[in-house]
Structure 1
Amino acid sequence: MNPENCTLYSGGLKGAETVFGETAEKFKVNEVIYTFEGHKLSRDKNTRILTEEELERGDISMELASRMMHRTYYETEKIRRVLQTIFHMVNSGYQVFVIGSIQDDGSVKGGTGWAVQLAKIFNRPLHVFDQPKEKWYTWKDGWQEDQPHIKYDTFVGSGTRYLSDAGRAAIEKLFDDSFA
C-alpha cells in the first residue's frame, strides 16, 4: 500500500491519538482530526470542526450507549459530543485500530470503547492493542490474538490518553509493518 493514498481519522487527543497522528505524519499518511467547537486537542493539525448538524448525525441515546458499554454515561454535553465525534471517525475510516484495555465482558475501557462498539455495529475490521497484556487482538465474533496490518486506505486510530511505552511501540510497529 502507498501511504500517501491512505487517510487516518482520529480525535487528536493526548496519548494514543496523538501518537497515531505523529506516526501517520512520519509515513506521509493523510490525516483528518474530527473535533467540535471548544474541544481542547493535543494534536491540532488537519482538524475538521464538526457543525451542530453534523454532530447530531452521530447522536445516540446516552441510555443506549450506557447499556451497550456496560457502564454509566451521564448526560453531559461534552461526553455526548465526544461520542458523536467518535461516530464520525468510525463512519469515515474503514479499518479501526484502538489502543486500550479489553475488559472481561469483551468491551474496551473508557470512551475508546465507543469506537470499538461502533466498529462492531458497522462490521468494520477491528483491532485492539491491549496495553496490560501488550498484545494485539482482532475481533472475529470474539477477541483473537493477532498481528494486524493497515490493509485499507481509510482507517481510524484511537485509544487511551494514558499511552504506555508498549502502546507507543505497537503503533509504530503497525505503521512500520504496513508501509515499510
Structure 2
Amino acid sequence: MMKAAECTLYHGGLKGAETLFGELAEKYGAKEVIFTFEGHRLNRDQNAVLLTEDDLQRGDISMEIASRMMNRTYYETEKIRRVLQAIFHMVNKGHQVFVIGTILEDNSVKGGTGWAVELAKLFNRPLHVFDQNRKGWFTWHDGIWQPEEQARISFDTYVGSGTRYLSDEGKLAIEQLYADSFGD
C-alpha cells in the first residue's frame, strides 16, 4: 500500500471532482499541487502554482490537433487554450491519471477533462476513468477501455481530474479510491 505522505496529487483546482481529489489528498496527508494561470478562477487554491507565459507555451498544442484527437471542435479561444496548456503540466508531472467523467462511444471522455485522458494515452500513463453513467471504473489498456473492479493509487505522483458535475457515485468512487489506496 502506498503512503500518502510520499505522494503528490496534481490537478486544476476546479469545482467538482478536482476539489474532492484535493480535499481527500489533504485529509490523507498527500501533497497537492494545483496548476493555474492568470485570470483562472479556482474553487480550491491550496498550493497553487501560477504558470508563467513560458510555462504555458511549453504545454501549447495546435487547437486543430486537439480537436482531431478528441473528435470535437474547439474554437480558437484563449481561455480554452490556456486550460489545455495547464492540463499538459498536470499530466506531464503526474505518472498515474484518475478521471471522473463519461466515456464516449469514440473512446474519448466528455468535456475538457478529455484532454487529460488523451494526453495520458499519448504519454502512456496508467489511466483510470470512473464513468458516472456506467457507475464503474475503466482502465485504458491495449487500446480499449477495460472494466476495473477498483482503481488504486500505485505511483507517488498522480493526477485527479474530472467533471465539475460530480454525481453521488462519482464522489463515492473518489472516496473509495483514497480509502483503498491509503487505508482508512
TM-score (norm 2): 0.97
Inter-partner Cα distance in structure 2 for 1:82 and 1:38: 11
Q: Counterpart of 2:109 in structure 1: which amino acid?
A: V
Give 1:38 deviation, angstroms: 1.1
Cα RMSD, aligned residues only: 0.4
Q: Counterpart of 2:147 in structure 1: which amino acid?
A: E
Give 1:34 deviation, angstroms: 0.2
> Which residue does 1:81 correspond to in 2?
82
Residue by residue over 1:104-156, the C-alpha shift from the partner in whole angstroms, topping out at 9 and shown as x without a partner, is 01000000000000000000000000001110000002000002100000000
3-state SS, counterpart of residue 23 of structure 2: helix
1:145 paired residue among 144, 147, 151: 147
> Which residue does 1:38 correspond to in 2?
39
3-state SS, counterpart of residue 161 of structure 1: coil
- Structure 2 alignment gaps of length 5 or more: none
Inter-partner Cα distance in structure 2 for 1:49 and 1:37: 7
Q: Counterpart of 2:69 in structure 1: which amino acid?
A: M
The question of 1:177 aligning with 2:175 is answered no
> Which residue does 1:100 correspond to in 2?
101
Q: Percent identity?
A: 70
Q: Once superposed, which parts of structure 1, at least 4 consecutive aligned residues long, lie more than 4 Å away?
A: none
Inter-partner Cα distance in structure 1 for 2:105 and 2:163: 18
How many residues align? The count is 180
The question of 1:168 aligning with 2:171 is answered yes
Residue by residue over 1:59-118, the C-alpha shift from the partner in whole angstroms, topping out at 9 and shown as x without a partner, is 000011001100000000000000000000000000000000000010000000000000
The aligned runs of 1:109-148 (5 Å cut-off) are 109-140=110-141, 141-146=143-148, 147-148=150-151
> Which residue does 1:4 correspond to in 2?
5
Q: Counterpart of 1:152 in structure 2: which amino acid?
A: F
- Structure 1 alignment gaps of length 5 or more: none
